[in-house]
Structure 1
Amino acid sequence: MSDLISVLNKNEIAQSVFSTAQKISSDFKNRELVMVGVLKGAFIFLSDLVRNLTIPVTIDFVSTSSYGSGTSSSGQIKLTKEIEIDINKKNVIIVEDIVDTGLTVAFLIHYLKSLGAEKVKICTLIDKQERRETDVKVDYACHVVKEGFLVGYGLDYAEKYRELSEIYHLKL
């Protein structure tokens, strides 16, 4: 793994996920909450996040496509798996592995609001503003990272590296 440089270790990830879950639990105490994980990248983060919540939550998933096997977004977002539960008049948090250009999150906010979501907030493991192309507000960010192509803990490059328990910068 000489092409990988450590960015975040297991303990740093676990602590930030715990802290973020506590903040969400506080913010949504006594309110119905739906968390929508963005497949495939967010599945590990979402799993750890919900296990640290102290409030009930409903979970669903969506899937989008914009990267293919490359390292940069094509800019064309398409929905490849729709949400399956009713979110009309409910509080929704989109759970992403990484917010980079912001295009996918902006697309999903519009999509979920079109289904009647009362509020849509964004929670991400990694907020990477280096290539942000649209003004999206990240409400909950575990880590802010300046730059680099990141893999591990669900993040991939061409469907590889998701299984790594830590986050690394991949030297391409």
Structure 2
Amino acid sequence: MAIDLEEEYDKIYRYCYFHVREQYLAEDITQETFLRYFKRAPQINHGSRTAYLYTIARNLCTDYFRRTGTEELTEEKAEAVSGTERPMEGLEDSMDLKEALKTLTVEQQELLMLRYAQELNVSEAARILGISRFAFYRREKEALKVLKLKLEGGDAQ
């Protein structure tokens, strides 16, 4: 199963940027992801190659936070982060959606990003997050419920 490297590179970069919120660091982690992928690609003969790329990227982001002693992005930190580059800009077409997305936890945002922005199927996204498909379905349903309530003008909390 071949993958479109250019398209996947952009998706992996956005995924890394979502975690680290720093352009150059996200580029470095994305490059390292593909280096590790190609090093092991001949040995990958089962499962999704795309999910494998995301798993490598997620592990590299986690390793970065462990190595530097910094913490991963929390909801509070996400609000404080500002930059000119917004990889999820296409998803945030309206101010309502942007505000509704802010009400989600970082974990819920990541789940929805993998599923809808990165267009991964449930099995792939669940594998990347290290949860079962059933747990993924439950968490996805809850995140979408919060978004729906917020967009309809209700109180999501």
- What TM-score, normalized to structure 1? 0.25
Which structure ranks higher in relative contact order (CA pairs < 8 Å, sequence separation ≥ 6)?
Answer: 1
Q: Name the one with the larger strand percent.
A: 1
- What TM-score, normalized to structure 2? 0.26
